[in-house]
Amino acid sequence: MKRVIVALLLTGCASAPPATRPSNAVITGRFPYVEADVHFMTGMIAHHSQAVVMAGWAATHNASPSLKALCERIVVGQGDEINLMSTWLADRHQPVPDPKAMRMHMKMNGMEMDMLMPGMLTDEEMAALDKSRAVEFDRLFLIGMIKHHGGAIEMVNELLAAQGAAQDEVVFKFSTDVFIDQTTEIERMTKMLNSIQGPPR
């Protein structure tokens, strides 16, 4: 049901007429963007950054061949997407976060703070993953990355719920790709995890 709702939201965003755009939309060239788009792209850089670090450990932590193959795709694919998001922000004269920073720097109520985005692993979880090897690394990685991908899908849903968001062509296509790709990878990783520890009881 959740996928159907998101699919309908994506379709609605793609077909929304210009007249529905809110007054706070910023126009640059052909496509508008709103604050929710900037927040999504900024937060997703931090989100992707942690995924790249996690996946990069597979080569040095004795991961299984199947997990190494998955991690290689994550490192390349999400690394390219970090570049895309950084360029999008820079083109719109928005602050571009450090591509290696695994937290989003935010200002709330006059206070500055660094926050983890939905689904991201805590420092303790990252330390446990880094200490693990072989089958235990595979298990902790899959558990963590399934949660991580779920957080990315949550971020897409939050973006689509914001008024006027995802009408910029790049943001719309990227957020759609994130939803589809990470939903597919969750299914693949769940099967891999079940092959290690068995299906949940």
State pLDDT tens for residues 150-200: 999 999 999 999 999 999 999 999 999 999 999 999 999 999 999 998 666
Q: How many Å is the maximal CA-CA distance in the chain?
A: 55
Please count the other Cβ atoms lying within 10 Å of the Cβ belonging to residue 80. 11
Closest CA to 49 of 85, 79, 72, 73: 79
Chain-centroid distance of CA 68 in Å reads: 20
d(CA 68, CA 58): 6
- Whole-Å CA distances, 160 to 11, 35, 47, 97, 186: 11, 12, 18, 22, 21
Non-local CB neighbours of 45 within 8 Å, separated by 6+ positions: 82, 85, 86, 97, 99, 101, 104
- Whole-Å CA distances, 100 to 2, 49, 103, 107, 111: 32, 6, 9, 20, 23
Assigned CATH class of 29-94+112-194? mainly alpha
What is the pTM (predicted TM-score) of this model? Answer: 0.82
Closest CA to 147 of 124, 117, 103: 117
State pLDDT tens for residues 14-57: 333 333 344 444 444 456 899 999 999 999 999 999 999 999 99
5-9, 79-83, 196-200: which has the minimum mean pLDDT?
5-9
> Structural domain boundaries of the chain?
29-94+112-194
